[in-house]
Amino acid sequence: MGYTIAEKILLKHSGQKSIRPGEFIQAKVDVALANDITAPLAISEFKKSGFKKVFSKDKIVLVPDHFAPAKDLKSANQCKILADFAKEQGIKNYFEIGCMGIEHALLPEKGIVLPGDLVIGADSHTCTYGALGAYATGMGSTDLARAYIDGKCWLKVPASVKFIYKGKLNKWVGGKDLILYTIGQIGVDGALYKVMEFSGPVIRKLGMDDRFSMSNMAIEAGARAGLIEPDEKTKKYVAGFKRKPKFYYSDKDASYEKIYEWDVTKLEPQVSCPHLPSNTKPVSSLKNIKIDQAVIGSCTNGRISDLRIAASLLKGKKVARGVKLIVFPATQKIYLQAVKEGLAEIFVSSGGVFSTPTCGPCLGGHMGILADGEVAIATTNRNFLGRMGSPKSFVYLSNPAVAAASAITGRITHPDKIK
Amino acid sequence: MVIKGKVHKFSDDINTDDIIAAKYLVSTDAQELGKHCMETINPTFSQAVSPGDIIVAGNNFGCGSSREHAPLAIKGCGVSAVIAKSFAAIFFRNAINIGLPFLESADVDKINNGDIVEIDLATGVISNLTQSKLYKTQAFPNFLQEIVESGGLINWVKKSTKSQ
């Protein structure tokens, strides 16, 4: 029996001769990531352990992005723990604001994560890098502290589930809609402890930004990772980075616990309604849902192609009276690109806010907390009760086109309706 | 190890934002986090918990974020163990790594809010003292038991580095 791409990467990093789903392995990590919420715990566990030096200065990545730029004194102190630790240990990949970005957009952009890598991150959306053909998975702070000590992590090898998307995508439908649809079909624990492997002709046509959006939300179905086999687009994306990628592909006789196959030709933009990412509905079925805020950005949809789509709708238009539009590009590079292309001007002219990169609004941290009773449409990844602020607020998840169209009309709107 | 306490019941898909909202993640102190445990869905939860109490929940407990603050908050508010039909994967490993006792049980629906239950972690047997019933669960695989017996992941690593 052959191996899936995920199993091949885990096998390589375990140093074993063979592996099988359900088995516990100790694997060497290529990248160990943490942010300003999770790193302070990891660093304090590392220090308590009595070990003095981290296992590698190159493989540890620290990104203060959640409450940064520091939203208050406590957050400032947390961010400082990362800065001090990076300095003390000589950690190369520490990103202060100014060169910072939302971690899951920043690491691929900088070539820090590459195809074939085993990446662990104390952030659940670490699964984003699966889009590159890497095994990337979210863990906790203590897992990170352990990796700081010996460069390894423990894993129970997950079984894989394959998703094949066939047909041709409609205008305004992209990776975000495919993943919202998928979660809607299988539920928030539909891939619990599994690897999701996204494949089929529709995936091959998706650009890298759309692929990142898909892999990013694998965790929302309970999955450990969400992988896409590399192709020419992947190779082009990683060409020129210093470290060399390793390309793995699933064997023809690889074993999958389940295979889903969908024709997505008729799929329209999807919206996940409060309070679970699996409450997915086609946008045109939502009638007269008034919004107070539209949020475009995050590790799910804060990349340049997301901003281009939003700007194409907002150009020459005004945000509806009473609606707050917040656009936050995911990295400094994307921010600068948006300025150069005139996208930033479109957002600001339309009456929106164009923010520095931060995770802030997505997790109800800062930069746009929802008040009691407020409704938001957001291109983020979670709509749990109280996720973006008040426990009495409501979050609808969508792609950037739906969020932009809704900002213009003040109601959840199909982008086709914007003329 | 035997744990005895009063049951606080929760539904399916209790997420980490429910367990501890992001606004409180400016602290890593378990006691401080514990004051706000489950606040979003039950604002008086932390006051209702007596030390040793047990959370009993449905499927996919702890889904969402990787924040280890979630099992820390549960420990910090005095809860001694969690029983659920299933656990989200990151919560599962965090609980193992920091030594929060938990069990997966298919019999969760038979346990009522307020029941007094006793858990024997070595045998995986849950005794519902209120209803005089026993529920059997699967014991942890050997590797996970090793971590638990070492007192958490970091101690396990220390031991295994020494023995090499």
Report residue B121's pLDDT band, with 50, 70 and 90 as the boundaries: confident
pLDDT at position A8 is: 98
The last residue of one of the domains, among A261, A285, A308, is: A261
CB contact under 8 A, B65 and A124: yes
pLDDT at position B141 is: 87
Please give the Cα distance from B131 to B133 (Å, whole number).
5
Q: Is B158 on the interface with A (CB under 8 A)?
A: yes
pLDDT at position A165 is: 98
Residues A300, A192, single domain; the answer is: no
Domain total in chain B: 1
Order of strands, sheet of A195-199, starting from the edge strand that comes earlier in the sequence:
A225-227, A195-199, A160-166, A258-263
Backbone angles phi, psi at B32, to 5 degrees: -65, -45
- Best B65, B155, B156 member to test A by mutation, with max A CBs in 10 Å, is B65
Helix (H) or strand (E) run with residue A49 in it: helix A39-49
Residues A217, A317, single domain; the answer is: no
- For A327-349, how does the pLDDT look when each residue is reduced to its tens digit (9 = 90+)? 999 999 999 999 999 999 999 99
- Higher model confidence: residue B124 or residue A286? A286
Rounded to an integer, the average pLDDT of A83-100 is 97
Please give the Cα distance from A261 to A165 (Å, whole number).
6
Q: How many CB atoms lie within 10 A of CB A333?
A: 17
Least confident of A103-107, B68-72, B155-159: B155-159
Residues A246, A294, single domain; the answer is: no
Residues A219, A288, single domain; the answer is: no
Query: Is A325 contained in some domain?
Result: yes
Report residue B162's pLDDT band, with 50, 70 and 90 as the boundaries: confident
C-alpha torsion angle, residues A300, A304, A310, A313 (rounded to 10): -160
Tell me if residue A46 falls in helix, strand or coil: helix
Closest CA to A292 of A347, A348, A370: A370
CB contact under 8 A, A38 and B40: no
User: B79: domain CATH number?
Assistant: 3.20.19.10
Q: What share of chain A is helix, strand, coil (3-state, %, to 5)?
A: 35, 20, 45
pLDDT at position A237 is: 98
Residues A330, A311, single domain; the answer is: yes
Q: Is B104 on the interface with A (CB under 8 A)?
A: no
pLDDT at position B163 is: 63
Provide the domain limits for residue A228.
Answer: 5-261
Backbone angles phi, psi at A107, to 5 degrees: -65, -45
Tell me if the pTM is above 0.90. yes
Rounded to an integer, the average pLDDT of B89-101 is 95
CB contact under 8 A, A49 and B18: no
Residues A114, A198, single domain; the answer is: yes
Residues A31, A168, single domain; the answer is: yes
User: A275: domain CATH number?
Assistant: 3.30.499.10
CB-nearest partner of B86 from A40, A141, A189? A189
Residues A253, A298, single domain; the answer is: no
B42: its two tokens: 């039950």
pLDDT at position B161 is: 78
Report residue A119's pLDDT band, with 50, 70 and 90 as the boundaries: very high
Rounded to an integer, the average pLDDT of A120-132 is 98
- For A152-211, how does the pLDDT look when each residue is reduced to its tens digit (9 = 90+)? 999 999 999 999 999 999 999 999 999 999 999 999 999 999 999 999 999 999 999 999
Query: Is A21 contained in some domain?
Result: yes
Query: Is B91 contained in some domain?
Result: yes
Is the pLDDT at B164 greater than 80? The verdict is no
The last residue of one of the domains, among A261, A292, A324, is: A261
The last residue of one of the domains, among A237, A261, A285, is: A261
Query: Is B104 contained in some domain?
Result: yes
Report residue B160's pLDDT band, with 50, 70 and 90 as the boundaries: confident
Cis peptide before A275, with omega less than 30 degrees from 0?
A: yes
CB contact under 8 A, A364 and B97: no
pLDDT at position A35 is: 98
Scanning A58-87 for CB atoms below 8 A from B yields 66-67, 72, 74-75, 78
Query: Is B116 contained in some domain?
Result: yes
Q: Is B68 on the interface with A (CB under 8 A)?
A: yes
Is the pLDDT at A307 greater than 60? The verdict is yes
pLDDT at position B1 is: 78
C-alpha torsion angle, residues A383, A384, A390, A392 (rounded to 10): 100
Residues A123, A155, single domain; the answer is: yes
Contact A94, A62 (CB under 8 A): yes
Residues A250, A345, single domain; the answer is: no
- Nearest chain A Cα to B157, which residue? A146
Query: Is B87 contained in some domain?
Result: yes
| Amino acid type, A346 | I
Residues A248, A314, single domain; the answer is: no
- For B20-71, how does the pLDDT look when each residue is reduced to its tens digit (9 = 90+)? 999 999 999 999 999 999 999 999 999 999 999 999 999 999 999 999 999 9
Residues in chain A closer than 8 A to B153 (CB atoms): 142-143, 145-146, 154
Length reported for chain A:
419
Query: Is A307 contained in some domain?
Result: yes
- ∠ at Cα B4 (B3, B5), nearest 5°? 125
CB-nearest partner of A188 from B60, B97, B143? B60
Residues A306, A211, single domain; the answer is: no
The interface predicted TM-score (ipTM) is 0.95
Domain total in chain A: 2
Query: Is A160 contained in some domain?
Result: yes
Least confident of A76-80, A301-305, B121-125: B121-125
Share the mean pLDDT of chain A: 98
Q: Is B150 on the interface with A (CB under 8 A)?
A: no
Percent of chain A scored above 70 by pLDDT?
Answer: 100
HSE of A352 in the Cβ direction (CA atoms, 13 Å)?
A: 34
Provide the domain limits for residue B125.
Answer: 2-138
Rounded to an integer, the average pLDDT of B108-112 is 98
Burial of A217 (0-12, 13-18, 19+ CB in 10 A): buried
Rounded to an integer, the average pLDDT of B109-136 is 96
Q: How many CB atoms lie within 10 A of CB B118?
A: 15
Q: Which residues contact B162 (CB under 8 A, 6 or more apart)?
A: none
Percent of chain A scored above 90 by pLDDT?
Answer: 100
Sign of CA dihedral B108, A187, A211, A261: positive
Q: Is B33 on the interface with A (CB under 8 A)?
A: no
Residue showing tokens 């603050």: B69
Question: What is the distance in angstroms between the Cα of A390 and the nearest Cα belonging to chain B?
Answer: 9
Question: What is the distance in angstroms between the Cα of A196 and the nearest Cα belonging to chain B?
Answer: 14
Query: Is A266 contained in some domain?
Result: no
